[in-house]
Amino acid sequence: MRRLKMKRLDPFDGYTLNVFLDDDGEYLAHFVEMPHVSAFADTPEESLRELRIAWEGVKESYQKHGEPIPVAPARKEYSGQFNVRIDRRLHRALAMEAAKAGVSLNAIVSQKLANNESTLKLR
């Protein structure tokens, strides 16, 4: 039997959602990555329906103004490279640790980040 992969429809385009009951007793749904895109309602389900409408309106506004629609971090492609500025003392300490271990500075920093992956959700 041959299985076909079905692409799941995602009305929120990969953005992470947060829904909670606010102090006024209304449910607030919003994108974690873009908190200004939000909607209120009496139930969590209604707040998600309203958020979907709000998101469609936001996308229409971007298109109307000739601007690109923001892409959720989960949907972006990444090169695996980025530059980061750090304190020169930390830079020295990392370089010394890498030299002692016989590896590159890049390798030691990658290893340290990977050791903390439990705090990150790698996908």
63 CB-near residues (< 8 Å, 6+ apart): 69
Look at residue 112 and tell me if it is in a domain: yes
Query: At 89, is the secondary structure helix, strand, or coil?
Result: helix
Look at residue 7 and tell me if it is in a domain: no
**Domain carrying residue 94:** 79-117
28 CB-near residues (< 8 Å, 6+ apart): 19, 20, 21, 22, 38, 39, 40, 47
- Strand order of the sheet with strand 17-21? 17-21, 27-31, 38-41
Q: Say if residue 84 is in the same domain as residue 110.
A: yes
pTM for the model: 0.70
pLDDT tens digits along 100-118: 999 999 999 999 988 876 6
Segments in the chain below pLDDT 50: 6
* Tally of domains within the chain: 2
Look at residue 3 and tell me if it is in a domain: no
